[in-house]
Structure 1
Amino acid sequence: MLLKGIVYNDSNEEIISGIDDIKNNLAIKGVNLGISEEMEAETHFIKIFCSDEESNKRTIGNFNLYFSMLIYKMLAREFYDKKLDEFISETYFFLMDSEIDEVKRLCMDEFFCEGKIKDETEVYCINRKNSIINKIKKFISETEEVNIEGYITFRIKEAEEDFQSIVDKIIEKYMVEKEYDEFIKLLKYFVDIQECKIDEVNIYADKDGNYKIFDSNGNSILNKMSEEVNISGYKAPVNKEDLIISGLITLAPKRIVIHCAEYFFNKELLETIKKVFEQKIYFCDECKTCNILKKNFIRN
């Protein structure tokens, strides 16, 4: 049975390796493809077959999916090479050259790599890529012969909105992370200029997401931290995490001990403390209070 006819010209060497990959992937699933090729001038005509016994809805669906992913990569390359610079320069004209280079590197990774899902940005981008692939798959399933160059030429405009949305999301994340890095640098500066007011601070998190903070003698210093923040003139923190960060900065301890770090629900707070205070951070998982905390977590 004929699965698909494919037309492409000599400039698309990526097609051959892509078809080989499709053939190998289907072979793993027990489906053997037959391939015939003819040429007229610089145009290649490929026909892909499978046996009547192997021809079923699942085989056709798998082939169309793999072939759609191959065309997606070619569409992504077309957008990256010919459309991305213009889109970034017109929409994000405020970015410096070094920032544009970094954004383009991030776009390259997102367009072409299939990494682990790390955050909601990754989920969003995957959904957009799937949107493009599904449109390609719909077209492929409705035609017996696909002209690769023709499809890319006439369908790139249709895919632009999805690619641009991916770029928007990547730049949004990039700007947020850049602002966060600048925020960390500012906090580190405040720590450097502060006079040390306490030798050691111990921070514990309980099963309810609350924090307990003590000095080296086991005395609670939350109230002291709040007082120091008010005296320093900092804007009043809006939540307990803000109070902890601001309090640590004003106290500027020589040593900060994080107990049972794996139980911190707010990982962002933990990462911020680690980045701001760096070598002053120590981790404890074996003291008496840690053991009590772990028993409470396990029991509940």
Structure 2
Amino acid sequence: MSRIVYVNGSYLPEEDAKVSVFDRGFLFADGVYEVSTVLEGRLIDNEAHLVRLKRSLNELQMESPASPSEIVEIQNELIKRNGLNEGGLYLQITRGAADRDFAFPKNTTPTLVMFTQEKNLLNSPAAEKGISVISVEDIRWGRRDIKTVGLLAPVLAKQAAVVAGVDDAWLYEDGYVTEGSSNNAYIITKAGTIVTRNLGNEILHGITRRAVLELANEADMEVEERAFTLDEAADAAEAFVTSATTFVTPVISLDGKAIGDGKPGPLAKRLRQLYIEQALES
């Protein structure tokens, strides 16, 4: 039985789900997206994702084809129709279909697409053993705070990691780490301080990032939001990444050099446990 996908008001088998070849998401990457976590058949921290979605739309002067409550209704229906217990729900809005022209078209109807992906999130093998990353120069555009579908630079970074035989890439600019290919990046200093890039146009304002930093503060862990260098990362006691579908995942090596003792560290594992506990209780 094929997966059910939502496209512009219809629930369709995935092989029948199509958008126009003139859709501006296809022609110009003129669109935004969100990925919400699903645990035990429930959306996790979804309201925050929808707030960020609205911000992304506003930054690109784009209209939404559905209200937040209508989006939630569609999301829950997709989860039900696909019997999704654990995984992610992808949502994408583009400016819609129009004859190819760089300027914004007038009177187009935005395209709304959603689909589910089944994934093992709670018992992730990557989180259990930790991941290895390489550093890759950050060549993305200047508004990384907008969650657009223009993801070719992160794709190239991820592919560089695959070719290098590691799990992911950390992007850097002027010697400072910005974030991972699809996640926010952190180090834990030998003094026990959690350090992650401060918010700005340089990084995505991660929903899981916000939740994890709140949990760290509640647990009286010291947090610094600032840029950190590749050298600092190499010398850190621990490192980890966060995202909606990886939660907190330890990073055990950078550019072939072990971070700390080369194993998932206690603080990263503790933060992952705290995040999962909170998510399951919500």
The structure where strand makes up a greater share of residues is 2
The structure where helix makes up a greater share of residues is 1
Same fold (TM over 0.5): no
TM-score, structure 2 length as denominator?
0.26
RCO higher in structure (CA 8 A, sep ≥6): 2
Q: Rg larger in 1 or in 2? A: 1
